[in-house]
Amino acid sequence: MEVLGGPLFAVAGAGESHGPAITTIVFGCPAGLLLDRADLQRYLDRRRPGGSRLGTPRHEADTVALLSGLYAEDHAALLAGPEVALGNLGQAAVRTSTYARGVTTGEPIAAVVLSAAGRAADYRQFAGPAGAVRPGHTDLVKFHKSSGAADVRGGGRSSFRATISDVIGGSVARLYLAAEFGTVILSSVCQVGRLRAAVSLAARAEQLSRQHPRGVPPAVLAELEQSLAQAPLWTLDRAFAAAAVERIQEVRKARDSLGAAVEVVALNVPALCGEPLYNSLKLRLMGALGGLHAAVSCEIGSGSQAVSRRGSQHNDPIRGWGYAADRHGGLIGGITTGAPLVCRVGFKPTASIGLPQQSVRKDLVETEFALGRGRHDPCVGVRAGVALESRLAIELMNAVLVHQARRVDRAAFRLFPRDESDRT
């Protein structure tokens, strides 16, 4: 069973690339969080295909409908979400409104995003035991793992479309963390192919954290996020963005693809979250972020640069107000320090490319593979930022709840007052 996060806050998803919908269930959100469907939609719009000229030409609205887990006494406002309908041809459809805005009840939050731009015919060359196999893709291993029952349309469940569930669950988590701690999670593309950004989000976050040791103000964080959104690529470095856009377009015309790297950073992080060893937050972040589609590496803090340093160069100085540097990326022994959480994730070049390649069919007969039809990202990493942010939010949210579960408040277990003096 695949569940992201857990055991206290978790996300489960289902749905294939060219199937009718992606469905999501978010478990463990505490009651009382005011949740607006529009806030979730804002993050899904960043993820959706067709939202950038650098990504796949597939266009999807990716409108989210919330089906459970919210309540408001104003039912008209609660049920102002998109309408969904279900019915057979020639019969009147059953129609219902969905949730738009309400408080979380503590029950599972269910969501659905319909798919409208599937092209199953584009993937006929991959069907059957003699179907083609894309080098670098899951076609061969999934076909044999499933005894031939794998969905070949767009890679089925292995498609980046499955990250819709990540973003929905991560949106709930990040909204809760923002409401309780002022936590904000951001990402910045820092490398495309051999091009590297000169401006680092991690360095900017460390600078802001030193300037505001009691928490970076919301206005400052909003300005930082706006700077990321203004470039043609989601990055702080405008000059790098322009060069990367040009390079991606060149590679697309050459029917090839590029790798990329993305920084993902959380600011105003609550301290003392995470476990020290087998269930450390470092382990969980490396698994969650490094396990995203097409990811091939995940570094925390200084990452591989720490290998060439001495301890005197790498240790973060500590003052009475907090950590004076953040080379450890906000984690010591898998536990948060309150400094910014800093991760860097590397992505391989998109596997589906138009150039001829050596491969086999699913029956292992050797072939010269040539991609037929299909719509693919020339650089999938540049669209991965919001999914990385979401996965970080899910793991941090779970760590917050696990930490809080260690602190029992007996008053929270009382249904009735103990005596007359307790009555109000």
Tell me how far apart the terminal alpha carbons of the chain are, to the nearest angstrom: 47
* pLDDT confidence of residue 51: 57
Angle at 181 between CA 178 and CA 182, to 5 degrees: 50
| pLDDT beyond 80 at 329 | yes
Say if CB 334 and CB 276 are below 8 A apart. yes
| pLDDT beyond 60 at 76 | yes
Residue at 366: amino acid letter: E
| pLDDT beyond 80 at 413 | yes
> Which of the 8 DSSP states describes residue 17?
T
| pLDDT beyond 70 at 196 | yes
Q: What is the CATH number of the domain that holds 305?
A: 3.60.150.10
Q: Could you tell me the residue range of the domain that residue 248 belongs to?
A: 4-404
Where residue 18 falls among pLDDT bands split at 50, 70, 90?
confident
| pLDDT beyond 90 at 118 | no
Q: Count how many residues are written for the chain.
A: 424
What proportion of the chain, given as a percentage, has pLDDT over 90? 74
User: Cα–Cα distance between 385 and 382 in angstroms, integer?
Assistant: 7
| pLDDT beyond 80 at 57 | no
CA distances from 258 to 63, 200, 349, 353, 390 (A): 29, 21, 4, 10, 23
- Where does 14-65 have alpha helices with state H? 37-47
- Number of domains, the chain: 1
Question: Which tokens go with 309?
Answer: 């340093």
Residue among 351, 325, 320 nearest 340 (CA): 325
| pLDDT beyond 70 at 263 | yes
* Residue 424 maps to a domain: no
* Residue 216 maps to a domain: yes
Question: Which tokens go with 410?
Answer: 């007996």
* Residue 203 maps to a domain: yes
- For the segment 87-103, the average pLDDT, to the nearest whole number, is 90
User: Cα–Cα distance between 156 and 151 in angstroms, integer?
Assistant: 5
| pLDDT beyond 70 at 54 | no
User: Cα–Cα distance between 354 and 254 in angstroms, integer?
Assistant: 8
Where residue 372 falls among pLDDT bands split at 50, 70, 90?
confident
What are the residues facing 85 on neighbouring strands?
Answer: 95
* Residue 100 maps to a domain: yes
Question: Which tokens go with 187?
Answer: 């990402």
| Average pLDDT score, the chain | 92
Residue among 307, 74, 344 nearest 205 (CA): 344
What are the residues facing 233 on neighbouring strands?
Answer: none
Q: Is 365 helix (H, G, I), strand (E, B) or coil?
A: coil
Angle at 384 between CA 209 and CA 280, to 5 degrees: 55
User: Cα–Cα distance between 194 and 292 in angstroms, integer?
Assistant: 22
* Residue 231 maps to a domain: yes
Where residue 117 falls among pLDDT bands split at 50, 70, 90?
low
**Where is pLDDT greater, at 395 or 372?**
395
Where residue 302 falls among pLDDT bands split at 50, 70, 90?
very high
| pLDDT beyond 60 at 424 | no
* Residue 413 maps to a domain: no
**Where is pLDDT greater, at 130 or 71?**
71
| pLDDT beyond 70 at 422 | no
- Where b means 16+ CB within 10 Å and e means fewer, 30-66 reads beebebebeebbebbebbbbebbebbbebebbbbbbb
* Residue 252 maps to a domain: yes
Say if CB 157 and CB 151 are below 8 A apart. yes
Residue among 79, 69, 73 nearest 100 (CA): 79
* pLDDT confidence of residue 179: 97
* Residue 35 maps to a domain: yes
Long-range contacts of 212-216 (CB under 8 A, 24+ apart): 213/321, 213/322, 215/182, 215/268, 216/182, 216/184, 216/267, 216/268
Q: How many CB atoms lie within 10 A of CB 206?
A: 24
**Where is pLDDT greater, at 151 or 116?**
151
DSSP one-letter string for 313-338 = HHSPPEETTEES--TTTTEETTEE-S
| pLDDT beyond 90 at 92 | no
